[in-house]
C-alpha cells in the first residue's frame, strides 16, 4: 500500500542487511528534526521496560512446572530451546512478512491467518493481549510514524481485528525502518528475554543464573533464526506439540502467577 510521507519505503526481498544509518536516510522525505540513529528506537522496542505487559506470560512454563516436566536446570534449558524453535517455525514467518509489507491490508490478512493458526486458546489470547498493548504503546511513543496511530484507530473501528503480537511486532519494525533480518532476530530475542524473566519469577533460576543462561541460549537462538527465517506464512508450523498441549493446560492451574 501507499505510505504516508515521512515513512521509509520498502521493497519485498530488498537490499541485503544495511546498516541502521542507511535505513534512517532511506525514505524520500525526511523529518525536519534531528536525525536519530535507529539504535535508539530499536533498543527501546526491545527493552523489557517498555510497558507491553510481556511480564504476564510464561510461554507455558508455569503449566510445565505444575505438570512436573521441569525438574532440573537442564530441563529448563531444553524447554526454552524448544519454545524458541517453535517461535521460529510458527511465528517468524508472520514477523517477516509484516516487516517487508508493513501496510494495513497485509497486517489484517496476517492477523486473520494467525488467529486461525494459534489454535491453542491460551497462546492465542496471550498473543492478542500483547499485540494490543504493543501497538498502543508504539503509536504513543513513535509519533514520527503517524500511520501507527491511524492503523490502530481504523482497526479498532473494524472490530474483528485480533491485534496478534507477531504481525504487529513486524509491522512496527518495518515502519520504523528495520530490516526483516533484524526484526526476526529481535522477535527471537524478546521471546528468550520473556521466558528467562518468567523462569526467574517462577524461582527456577536466580537472576545471575538467568543472565548466564540467556547468553548461552543466544547461540542456539541464532541457529534457530538461521533455520526458520524468511519463510512464507503458508509454511508456518508448530514443532513442539507436547509443549502446545501443556501450555493449553494453563487455564486448569489452580494457582497461577501468569496469564499464560
Partner 1 sequence: MESKIEAATGKLVVKKVGGKSTVTRCFSKYPLKFIIPNKVGSSETDAVWVYTLTYGGGIVSGDSISCEITVADACTAVLTTQASTKVYKSLGSKSSEQILEAKIGSDALLAVIPDPVTCFSTARYSQKQIFRVVLDSSLVIVDWITSGRHESGEKWDFELYRSTNHIFLEGDQPLFLDSVLLEQGNITNIAERMQDYQVIAMVILLGPKLKQIQIQVQENVRRMMSEQLYLPSTGLRPHGKTQSDHFLAKPSFVVSCSAFGPKGIGIVVRIAAMTTESVYRFLQHQLAGMETLLGVSPYS
Q: Which residues bind partner 1 (CB under 8 A)?
A: 63, 65-76, 78, 81-82, 85, 89, 112-113, 116-117, 119-122, 124, 203-205, 220, 223-224, 227, 236-249, 251-255
Residue 169 CB, nearest distance to partner 1 (Å)?
20
Closer residue to partner 1 (CB): 157 or 235 = 235
Closer residue to partner 1 (CB): 75 or 144 = 75
Residue 100 CB, nearest distance to partner 1 (Å)?
21
Closer residue to partner 1 (CB): 63 or 166 = 63
Residues 179/227, Cβ–Cβ less than 8 Å: no
Closer residue to partner 1 (CB): 61 or 148 = 61
User: ∠ at Cα 92 (90, 203), nearest 5°?
Assistant: 75
DSSP of 111-163: HHHHHHH--SHHHHHHHHHHHHHHHHHHHHH-TT-HHHHHHHHHHHHHS----
Residue with cell 491490508: 105
Of 90, 87, 116, 115, whose CA–CA distance to 232 is shortest?
90
Residue 63 CB, nearest distance to partner 1 (Å)?
7
Residue 80 CB, nearest distance to partner 1 (Å)?
11
Amino acid at each position: 500500500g501507499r505510505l504516508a510521507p515521512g515513512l521509509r519505503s520498502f521493497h519485498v526481498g530488498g537490499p541485503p542487511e544495511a546498516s541502521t544509518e542507511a535505513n534512517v536516510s532511506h525514505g524520500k522525505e525526511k523529518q525536519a528534526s534531528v536525525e536519530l540513529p535507529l539504535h535508539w528506537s530499536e533498543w527501546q522496542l526491545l527493552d523489557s521496560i517498555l510497558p507491553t505487559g510481556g511480564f504476564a506470560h510464561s510461554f507455558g512454563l508455569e503449566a510445565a512446572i505444575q505438570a512436573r516436566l521441569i525438574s532440573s536446570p537442564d530441563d529448563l534449558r531444553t524447554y526454552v530451546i524448544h519454545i524458541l524453535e517453535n517461535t521460529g517455525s510458527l511465528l517468524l514467518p508472520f514477523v517477516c512478512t509484516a516487516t517487508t509489507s508493513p501496510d494495513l491490508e497485509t497486517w489484517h490478512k496476517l492477523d486473520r491467518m494467525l488467529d486461525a493458526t494459534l489454535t491453542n486458546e491460551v497462546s492465542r489470547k496471550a498473543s492478542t493481549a500483547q499485540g494490543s498493548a504493543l501497538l498502543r504503546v508504539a503509536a504513543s511513543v513513535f509519533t514520527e510514524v503517524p500511520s501507527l496511530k491511524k492503523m490502530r484507530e481504523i482497526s479498532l473501528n473494524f472490530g474483528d481485528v485480533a491485534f496478534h503480537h507477531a504481525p504487529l511486532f513486524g509491522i512496527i519494525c518495518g515502519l520504523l525502518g528495520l530490516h526483516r533480518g533484524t526484526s526476526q532476530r529481535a522477535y527471537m530475542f524478546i521471546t528468550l528475554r520473556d521466558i528467562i524473566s518468567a523462569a526467574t519469577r517462577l524461582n527456577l533460576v536466580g537472576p545471575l543464573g538467568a543472565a548466564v543462561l540467556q547468553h548461552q541460549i543466544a547461540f542456539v537462538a541464532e541457529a534457530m533464526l538461521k533455520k526458520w527465517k524468511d519463510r512464507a506464512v503458508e509454511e508456518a508450523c508448530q514443532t513442539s506439540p507436547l509443549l502446545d498441549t501443556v501450555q493449553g493446560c494453563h487455564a486448569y492451574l489452580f494457582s497461577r502467577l501468569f496469564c499464560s
